[in-house]
């Protein structure tokens, strides 16, 4: 579902409006834990808090990435808006130019939002395509070859559903199979190429079908890995084209961002709202 910048400006003209939104999605439908009253809260005039008639106070920012931040809440919301409404992401430098914050602040905000975008809650099921990809440490010198110091990414993508992307230490069987077991349910059918690390999947209880890329086979009936390969194409265009360079220690966070947008591309709820719902967890 689309959420335009016009709608954003109308809904969140001030930081107080942003605070009220967090209150509404996290606390407004819950009774007071002290007296049990449901509708007894009101906003305190000069504090980011809501107080019940019994005197109990709730701070909506507590336990969220926004807590104790010196950056106003509307700037945080604006960052989330752009990160969820751009297909290939937005760099911290570009957000610095738009918002007026420092580059350091923009980078820190983006880092925290990517952490909120992480998804490890439920197993992938049905038809899942799995594939590994290699990120070159120097985008300007990348080629089709796999340099010895490439970063290995492992992707698991449901057909028509979610994506789960992991930054792993290698593409060996002892790394990839445990990742599959942690993220894909046994009711799923897994589609891969004939890379050797997937050969044990049937012995681990999975339905497993392969496509032989070495023989120029890419689609044989329902057997293919087109969805996960399309994801890699989008992911690499974003990392190499938008961010230009990504330190390996933050690569998982960038993967979270792209996987989140992919997984929620068909959601009836704006992705902006989905991130804020996760902010209180």
* Mean pLDDT of the 39-63 span: 93
**175, burial (CB in 10 Å: exposed 0-12, middle 13-18, buried 19+):** middle
pLDDT band at 140 (very low <50, low <70, confident <90, very high): low
pLDDT at 280: 72
Q: Give the model confidence (pLDDT) of 222-271 as tens digits.
A: 999 999 999 999 999 888 888 877 888 999 999 999 999 999 999 999 99
Rounded Cα–Cα distance for residues 66 and 270 (Å)? 20
What percentage of the chain carries pLDDT values higher than 70? 95
pLDDT band at 89 (very low <50, low <70, confident <90, very high): confident
pLDDT at 244: 74
pLDDT at 3: 84
CATH no. for 127-263: 3.30.420.10
Quote the strand ranges of the chain, DSSP E. 42-43, 50-51, 57-58, 127-135, 151-158, 163-168, 189-193, 207-211, 219-220, 223-224
Beta strands 57-58 and 50-51 are antiparallel
Residue 138 reports pLDDT greater than 80: no
Residue 152 reports pLDDT greater than 90: yes
pLDDT at 243: 82
Task: Please provide the average confidence, as pLDDT, over all residues in the chain.
Answer: 91
pLDDT at 178: 97
HSE at residue 25, side-chain half, CA atoms within 13 A, is: 16
120 Ramachandran zone, left/alpha/beta (phi>0; psi -120 to 50)? alpha
Rounded Cα–Cα distance for residues 170 and 191 (Å)? 20
Give the sheet arrangement for strand 57-58, strand by strand. 42-43, 50-51, 57-58
Residue 141 reports pLDDT greater than 70: no
- Which residues, listed in sequence order, are joined to residue 129 by a DSSP beta bridge? 157, 191
Q: How far apart are the first and last CA of the chain?
A: 23
Cβ atoms of residues 210 and 191 within 8 Å: yes
Q: Give the model confidence (pLDDT) of 106-125 as tens digits.
A: 999 999 999 999 987 799 99
* Domain boundaries along the sequence of the chain: 5-116, 127-263
Q: Is the dihedral angle over the CA atoms 50, 56, 61, 64 positive or is it negative?
A: negative
Two structure tokens written together for 156: 């698991």
pLDDT at 229: 96
């Amino acid at each position: 579902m689309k959420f335009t910048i016009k709608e954003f400006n109308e809904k969140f003209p001030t930081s107080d409006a942003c605070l009220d939104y967090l209150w509404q999605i996290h606390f407004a439908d819950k009774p007071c834990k002290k007296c049990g009253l449901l509708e007894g809260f009101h906003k305190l005039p000069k504090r980011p808090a809501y107080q019940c008639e019994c005197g109990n106070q709730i701070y909506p920012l507590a336990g969220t990435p926004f807590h104790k931040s010196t950056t106003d809440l509307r700037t945080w919301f604006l960052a989330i808006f752009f990160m969820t409404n751009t297909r290939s992401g937005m760099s911290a430098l570009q957000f610095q130019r738009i918002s007026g914050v420092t580059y350091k602040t923009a980078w820190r905000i983006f880092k925290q939002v990517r952490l909120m975008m992480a998804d490890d809650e439920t197993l992938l099921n049905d038809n899942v395509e799995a594939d590994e990809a290699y990120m070159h440490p120097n985008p300007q010198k990348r080629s089709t070859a796999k340099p010895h110091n490439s970063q290995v990414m492992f992707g698991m993508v449901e057909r028509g559903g979610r994506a789960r992307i992991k930054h792993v230490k290698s593409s060996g069987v002892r790394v990839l199979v445990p990742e599959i077991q942690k993220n894909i349910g046994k009711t799923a059918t897994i589609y891969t190429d004939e890379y050797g690390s997937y050969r044990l999947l049937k012995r681990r209880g999975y339905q497993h079908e392969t496509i032989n890329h070495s023989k120029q086979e890419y689609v044989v009936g329902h057997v293919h890995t087109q969805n996960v390969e399309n994801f890699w194409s989008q992911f690499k265009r974003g990392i190499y084209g938008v961010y230009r360079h990504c330190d390996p220690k933050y690569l998982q966070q960038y993967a979270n961002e792209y996987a989140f947008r992919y997984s929620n591309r068909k959601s009836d709820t704006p992705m902006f709202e989905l991130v804020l719902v996760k902010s209180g967890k």
